């Protein structure tokens, strides 16, 4: 057998490839439950790496201490707002439910000004009658559908504390050993793909940063503008509604679900002017700022057509859950890098992370 392997190099390479492929498959099976938390940790660590470098330089502490401090700051930045919103939602949801039930009991019909609106008036009246006849069942059905859709979108990201813990734990080690990890990954990929891998890595890095900043900035801008609209319209808890709008706006075309629902509620409760004003504000200001910031930040920074970025975001969510917000555009960015290479376009130079001492 040894003589056959020595006389047939292709057979030896085939066996090695099968062994390596088997190991990779087994590794994937073992690590599959942790892939989503690890991807989130890599994204967050990459985007916040410049901040970590500044923190490490300011602290003048060992790398482990700086990495632990940065991880704690990251934990506070994400956990505290989630806990705050959870507490507020539990309190506000009960109050909102009582308000809706009492209003439906007192007002079984829409105001005439709303009933006379073509198409919309009939639809709202039918909805009001169904909710008025059995409000608990109707609201419960809406709640179940909404929760089911949210679970489908969010998928495995942050579903329980264990996965959040694994994400933060991974982020700590990425901060501590990120430079060595990046160097090893570049060396391995360069041996496999060659020098062209630097252009692909640059495309991945630029796209990841642009998508994160574009999505977060657009969501924050929509939340602030929507919160201003809620306050002017006279809705209770405009800050809470603005925070909810910010979170939902992380998903493309998600913000209208909040401000449109609030506007419709104002119409139903006979605050026609405020309702129409909020709907116009949402359509002309809140959604417009989203259409401005996302293309400006994402498309211009990555040199990828915004239509392709949008398809990458939506397709990524459908395929991978919320983490697909970043995976989808990154995959298409690498595809564009390969396309430009075939056309003979030059690659951008890779940005090597600064060394942590």
pLDDT at position 267, please? 80
Provide the 8-state DSSP code for 299.
I
Displacement of CA 101 from its chain's centroid (Å): 34
d(CA 60, CA 70) in angstroms, rounded, equals 13
pLDDT at position 154, please? 46
d(CA 110, CA 115) in angstroms, rounded, equals 6
pLDDT at position 78, please? 76
pLDDT at position 111, please? 61
pLDDT in tens, the chain (357 residues): 555 555 566 677 778 888 888 888 998 898 888 888 888 888 888 888 889 999 988 988 888 999 999 999 988 887 777 677 667 666 666 566 566 666 665 655 666 656 666 666 666 667 666 665 555 555 555 555 444 444 544 444 445 567 778 888 999 999 998 888 888 888 887 877 777 777 777 777 777 777 778 888 888 889 999 999 999 988 877 887 888 888 888 776 778 888 888 888 888 777 888 888 999 999 888 888 877 777 677 766 666 777 777 788 778 888 887 778 778 877 887 787 777 767 665 544 444 444 455
d(CA 280, CA 315) in angstroms, rounded, equals 29
Tell me the domain boundaries of the chain: 63-342
pLDDT at position 69, please? 93
Q: Which residue has the tokens 């088997």?
A: 22
pLDDT at position 275, please? 87
> In this structure, what token pair is assigned to residue 34?
């942790």
Q: Choose among 338, 326, 357, 334: nearest CA to 42.
A: 326
Rounded (to 5) percent helix, strand, coil in the chain = 85, 0, 15
pLDDT at position 281, please? 92
pLDDT at position 155, please? 45
d(CA 51, CA 54) in angstroms, rounded, equals 5
What are the backbone dihedrals phi and psi of residue 63, each rounded to the nearest 5 degrees, phi first?
Answer: -60, -40
Residues whose CB is less than 8 angstroms from the CB of residue 276 and which lie 6 or more positions away in sequence, other chains included: 263, 267
d(CA 99, CA 168) in angstroms, rounded, equals 40
d(CA 33, CA 36) in angstroms, rounded, equals 7
């Amino acid at each position: 057998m040894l003589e056959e392997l020595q006389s047939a190099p292709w057979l030896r390479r085939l066996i090695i490839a099968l062994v390596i492929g088997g190991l990779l498959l087994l590794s994937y099976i073992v690590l599959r439950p942790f892939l989503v938390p690890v991807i989130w940790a890599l994204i967050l660590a990459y985007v916040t790496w410049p901040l970590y470098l500044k923190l490490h330089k300011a602290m003048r502490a060992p790398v482990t201490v700086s990495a632990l401090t940065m991880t704690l700051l990251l934990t506070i930045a994400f956990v505290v707002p989630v806990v705050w919103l959870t507490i507020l939602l539990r309190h506000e949801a009960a109050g909102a439910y009582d308000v809706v039930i009492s209003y439906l009991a007192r007002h079984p019909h829409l105001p005439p000004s709303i009933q006379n609106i073509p198409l919309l008036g009939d639809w709202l009246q039918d909805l009001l009658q169904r909710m008025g006849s059995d409000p608990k069942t109707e609201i419960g059905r809406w709640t179940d559908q909404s929760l089911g859709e949210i679970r489908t979108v969010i998928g495995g990201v942050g579903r329980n504390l264990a996965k959040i813990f694994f994400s933060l734990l991974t982020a700590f080690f990425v901060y501590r050993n990120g430079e060595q990890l990046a160097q090893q990954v570049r060396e391995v990929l360069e041996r496999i793909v060659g020098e062209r891998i630097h252009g692909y890595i640059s495309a991945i890095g630029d796209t990841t940063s642009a998508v994160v900043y574009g999505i977060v900035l657009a969501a924050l801008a929509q939340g602030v503008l929507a919160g201003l609209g809620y306050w002017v319209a006279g809705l209770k808890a405009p800050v809470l509604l603005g925070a909810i709008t910010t979170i939902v706006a992380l998903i493309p075309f998600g913000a209208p679900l909040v401000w449109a629902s609030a506007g419709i509620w104002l119409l139903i409760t006979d605050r026609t002017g405020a309702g129409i004003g909020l709907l116009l504000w949402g359509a002309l200001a809140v959604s417009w700022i989203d259409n401005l910031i996302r293309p400006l930040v994402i498309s211009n920074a990555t040199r990828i057509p915004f239509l392709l970025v949008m398809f990458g975001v939506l397709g990524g969510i459908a395929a991978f859950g919320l983490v697909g917000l970043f995976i989808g555009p990154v995959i298409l960015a690498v595809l564009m890098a390969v396309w430009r290479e075939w056309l003979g376009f030059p690659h951008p130079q890779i940005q090597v992370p600064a060394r942590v001492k």
